[in-house]
Structure 1
Amino acid sequence: MRAARSLSLWLWVAAGFLFLALLWTAMFTAARSADTRAVPLATPGGRP
């Protein structure tokens, strides 16, 4: 029973790692395709 429990834990760890890897991939893909020139450097009334 203990072996099945530890295997289940490692499966959860592997699933969590895979989920985080997918999130990182999506984040970097979105960041690569974002056009940063459309973002102003400062607001017109902002401090210099």
Structure 2
Amino acid sequence: MLLEAIKERGTANTLADTGDVLLKIIRNVMRARFGSYKASVF
């Protein structure tokens, strides 16, 4: 599915969108797991 999206929309745009989505997911996971600890690592 990712390859199809890249072919349809263009490599640069798709990679940028994918990167944004991954960053949002990572941030949400970090908040969910480490938010209660108030870790200053991030």
Number of residue pairs the alignment of both structures matches: 30
The percentage of counterpart residues that share the same residue type is 7
The residue that corresponds to 1:42 in the other structure is: none
Quote the RMSD (CA, aligned, Å). 2.2
Structure 1-normalised TM-score?
0.51
Rg larger in structure: 1
Structure 2-normalised TM-score?
0.57
Per the TM alignment, residue 11 of structure 1 is displaced from its structure 2 partner at its CA by 1.2
The residue that corresponds to 1:27 in the other structure is: 27
Q: Which runs of 4+ in 1 moved over 6 A?
A: none
Q: What are structure 1's unaligned runs of at least 5 residues? A: 1-6, 39-48
